[in-house]
Structures are given as structure tokens and as C-alpha cells.
Structure 1
Amino acid sequence: MSAARPDAKAVKQAIQWMLRLREGGHDPALQQQCAQWRSVHHEHEQAWQRVTHLHQELDLRAIPGAGLALQTLETSQQRLHRRQALKLLGGVAMAGSASWLAKDLDAVSAWASDYATGTGERRIFTLPDGSLMQLNTRSAVDLVFNDQQRLVRLQHGELMVTCNPRLPLLVQTRDALLEGFEGRFVAYQDSDCTRVSVSHGKVAIHRPGMGQLQWIESGQNWRLDAQGAHRVAHMDMDAMAWTEGLIVTQNMRLSDFLTQVSRYRHGYLGCSNEIADLRLSGVFRLEDPEQLLRLLPQTLPVRLRQRTRWWVRVESIA
């Protein structure tokens, strides 16, 4: 059985409470009433968490018109339908902000997923079969757990699963169906491929038209794309380090490093072409991406050009 979602009525009530709290400021009585509503039923709390998560991801201070989206949702029952709501919120975000916000619209689609994380967020969940799942930043999954299968659909982003030793676990990505046996592995759905790394145990790769199963063994890293499944001999970044709140690099291109860091922050982050191939090795903590960026000039001949907190470009000091 798939994880339950709050119904439209609960979502509508959650939006109403959020709007009332925004208008009422720090009214203790109003906050107590909202807390009481949340405690009445688990669906109320679930709806509240989803609407709060969406509200925070849009960041009403940074996206003009995002507050109006919640107001419109509250006043139109028809738009509470998931697909219509996502279309509305996506349109508001794009109309009222710069084009770089397009990458953050995954956060809006997360509202309709069983489990999701926002920008810079990492969370651990226990699945119905006892398996552990950790989601990296900007990730969303749906579950299909029943008598026939235990399936995790990775909608976008990255996950790590620690499989129940008694039961295989299926992870569906855009490029393949992965079957994990006793062990732990990471699956990252990149823009053009799925990257799989196995910490221990083994993972079977199921792909249409594949003559025989391919296996990913402990310690191996693979790339799955439209051309097939390929083992990656060298990794310039530790695939598991994010689960400990780290980016660990070994001779990694600066441009690729900034692409990874940009997953954990809002806005634009890039570099000039002349320094894109500079190499970087080290251990970097993820809890404060802005502080992480400020460390770059200490290790490379670069400087940060910052127009706003949302727009940062790394340039040569020459």
C-alpha cells in the first residue's frame, strides 16, 4: 500500500491556518488553536507539514507573488487538485522571479510525493519493511509497498537505502530498476543518467532488452544512461559522503564542484570558463554552503563575485 496522502480538505484547512497565522502575527491563542487542529488527526499534521514545506521552499520573501499562490489555493477548491496546484505555483514562481529559479521547482513537485526534502535538507526515514532510506537535498520519492513488491520510485534527487536483510528492495529510477539485496547503496538521478554506488552488499540492474542481469558489487560505482550500464573506474567525489553532511573530492574540476554545491543552496552559482578546469581536493562541510564558498579563495587563485545572496560567481583573481 502506498503511503497515505492528506486529502484535499485537510490541505485546504492547512492553507487556511497558515494564512490566518500570517495575518495574526504571534497571537498565542491563534497558535494554540492551530496546534489543536493539527493534533486532532494525523492527516491534519501531514497536510500542515506539506504546506509548510512548500511555503518555505518558495521562500515568500524571495519570490514575488508566491504568497498570492497560497491565497489562490485557499480560495479555489478546484485548484487543490494536485496537478492544477503545481501548475499554478510553478507559473507564479516563474513569472515573479529570475530564470534560475527553474531548478527550484522540483521543490514544488515534492508537495505531491510521499517523502521529500527541500534545498539543503537531508532526512532519514524508516520504510514499512524496516529498510532505512536517507534522502539528500531536493529529492522526492513515492512508495508502492504491498504483498507483491516493495518499490521506491525516485522522482528526482538522490537517496541512500539500507536494505532489510530478509527482503529485496526495488528502486525505480528514470534509467533502470535497481534491486537491492542485503546491503546499502546510493542512487542519484542526474540530468542525463543515474549514478549508483554500492557501499556493501550487491544490487541487480534490470533494464528492458537486457539479455542478463548485471550486478553492482560492493565498492563499485556505475553510470546508467540511454546507452547502457557502465562501471566507473574513478570517482572524483565520494558518493556516500553526503550522508555524513560532507562533500569529499579528489582532483575534482571546479565547475563540477560548484554544480554539486549549488544543489544545497538557492539561486545561481557558477564560474568563468577560464577557471572551470581548476582542480580541487578536500573535505567540505555542507551545513553552511556560503561559508564553504568563502573558503575557496584560500585554496585556489579565485575570488567570489556576489551581486546578491542568490547570485554568486567564482572568477579568476588575475
Structure 2
Amino acid sequence: MATLNPGPRVVKQAIHWLLKLRESGNSPLLQHQCEQWRAAHQDHELAWQRVQSLHQELNLRAVPGANVALQTLESGTQRLQRRQALKLLGGVVMLGSAAWLGKDVDALSNWTSDYASATGERRRFDLPDGSVLQLNTDSAADLAFDARQRLIRLKRGEMMLTCANDAASAVGRPLLVQTRHALLEGFDGRFVVRQDETCTQISVSQGNVAFHAPGALQWVTAGQSLRVDAQGASLLQQPEMDASAWTEGLVVTRDMRLRAFLAEVGRYRHGFVSCSDEIADLRLSGVFRLEDTDQLLQLLPQTLPVNVSYRTRWWVRLERQA
């Protein structure tokens, strides 16, 4: 019977596969062998997903003390101890003595953030100025309110902000949201901000948002969505999803590619969801509830010619119906 916390031996195996693939330049043969190991047991897949996600988030070798920890884990002469240098999946991780990490991929970020949510969790926070901050799945934000401004730094993920007037200040401090790609200023109203590695997307439900571009100011009004990336800013004409539906526990799609839909659903669950290339471009429109993503996936064959198969509890793949 598998548990939610794979044992040290499985953790060590997952790290071993990660390092072998990294050093081999992702050789097809090793990738196939790794996939076979992952499919052999659901604990293998869970360990792989957590180790892989942690590696991507933190770059393990860049963390102080991590090289020593990884060398220890790669060595066949020493066992993985309960409080050894790297304890990835037991609920707590320590790299050297530099940082502690929880069993979720972004636990370190959660612990060092003013506001955070776990995978599959949505949270609401009342801010000191009366504004309301809502975080979507696996998101984190910091607050920096001072005499000059009210600043929210979105560190990762997605948030909705319902703006309040700055009644506590005679000067009316601006209400700002900062991501790695954009600086935004909110006024009376409500808007969603979502960021990933490549871009930030702003969707305004009510009121107006100002995007502070270098040497310019661009307004985003109610009903509009703006994408900001390294190439600049552009309005999205027909978004594939209702940007604020997640606050109601929903995904609402409009002619969305199946592969993109599965990537969205994957944000709300642990593990890996994929589909074959031949069905990746199937289109999907509808309203889907997020409280049970397994049930959500089982609904797809009712509207699309697909089969849903569970290679493990955490590894789901969709194929075309025979």
C-alpha cells in the first residue's frame, strides 16, 4: 500500500534518476528507463514529481550545502538518515543548515512569504487598508505598506485584488502590484494578476488598472486582459478562460485546446496530467468544478473522444478512444 510520504529509499532513487538524466543530457534511453521506474509504483511517481518540482524551483546545486547533500545521496555507501542533509518528502527538508523545505514544492517560499496557498488551495486575506487579496492554487505574495505606498509583490502564481480607498492616509497612497514582468496600479475595482516564468497576465473585472511601462502608462479597463512579457504588452482579444472563475472554484473555458486545459487542471493537483499529441488540439468549452479534479477528468470522455487512464494515482494520461 503506497503512502503520501514515500520512504527514504524511494526518495534516493528519484534523486538518482534526476541526476543521471541531468548528467546524460536527457538521453532517450535513460528517459525511457526512468519512465518505466516511475510507472512501476505510485510511490515512485510521487517521489519523482516532488523531487523534479523542487529541483526546478530551487536549482538544488545552487543552494548552499546542496552539493554535499547530493553527493551523500548519490553515494551507495551511506544510508539516507531521517534528519540527513536532504529530506525531501517526509514533510520537512533541510539543505545543509541553510533552509527548510516542506513536502510541497514551494514550502520554503510559503514559509518566507506574508501570504501563501498550497497546491489545490484558494485563500482569502483582508489587508490592513481594507482591500481583499485572494490567492489561487500554489501562490505566494508579500506585503510592503509604508507611508508612501501600498505594495503587493506577487512572488508566484495568481491573485485577485479587490481595491479599497486608502482611508488611513491623507495623501492617498497608490495601491501597487509588482510581478517579475510588470508594475500595476489598481484603483476602485477588482482585477486578477497571474504570472509564470515567461509572462504576467492582467484581467480586470471592475474599475481600471494602470500598467506602468517604461516611459509610458497603459490603462486596462473592465472586461480587458493584458499580457506582459519580454517583448512588451498586448491586449488579449479572446481569452480561453474566464480569468476570475477560480475564485468560485471553477474553470470556465471557451474553445480551449485540450493540452492547455490539462495544464490548467494540473495546477490544482499533485502529480502529472498529459495527453497524446493526436488529441492535444481537441477543443473544449464548458464549466468545470475544481474541488475534485479526478472527477473532473472523468467527465471529459462524455464530451470528447478520449479515454482517461491512471498509470499511477498521480500519473494520468489521456489517449484517443479506440
Contact 1:107 1:138 in 2 (8 A): no
Superposed counterparts of 1:240-255, under 5 Å: 240-255=244-259
Contact 2:47 2:89 in 1 (8 A): no
* 1-structure distance, mates of 2:106, 2:257: 26
Deviations 1:160-190 (A, max 9, x none): 0000134531110010111001110000002
- Name 2:119's counterpart in structure 1: 119
Query: Aligned-pair distance for 1:148?
Result: 1.5
What runs of 5+ residues in structure 1 fail to find an aligned partner? 1-58, 94-103
Percent of paired sites with the same residue: 60
- Aligned residue type for 2:262: L
- Name 1:85's counterpart in structure 2: 99
* 2-structure distance, mates of 1:222, 1:291: 32
Deviations 1:3-37 (A, max 9, x none): xxxxxxxxxxxxxxxxxxxxxxxxxxxxxxxxxxx
Structure holding more helix per residue? 1
**1:215 aligns to 2:219 (yes or no):** yes
In structure 2, the CA distance between the partners of 1:152 and 1:75, relative to structure 1 (3 Å rule), is: closer
- Name 2:268's counterpart in structure 1: 264
SS of equivalent to 2:297: helix
SS of equivalent to 2:310: strand
TM-score between the two structures when normalised by the length of structure 2: 0.69
* 1-structure distance, mates of 2:320, 2:131: 46
- Name 2:313's counterpart in structure 1: 309
SS of equivalent to 2:307: strand
**1:144 aligns to 2:144 (yes or no):** yes
SS of equivalent to 2:155: strand
Contact 2:153 2:179 in 1 (8 A): yes
* 2-structure distance, mates of 1:235, 1:183: 20
Contact 1:304 1:313 in 2 (8 A): yes
Superposed counterparts of 1:1-318, under 5 Å: 62-63=46-47, 68=83, 69=87, 79=97, 84-86=98-100, 89=101, 105-166=105-166, 167=172, 168-207=174-213, 210-318=214-322
SS of equivalent to 1:277: coil
Contact 2:163 2:186 in 1 (8 A): yes
- Aligned residue type for 1:180: G
What runs of 5+ residues in structure 2 fail to find an aligned partner? 1-42, 49-79, 167-171
Q: Over aligned residues, Cα RMSD in angstroms?
A: 2.8
* 2-structure distance, mates of 1:223, 1:123: 24
* 2-structure distance, mates of 1:70, 1:195: 32
- Aligned residue type for 2:234: H
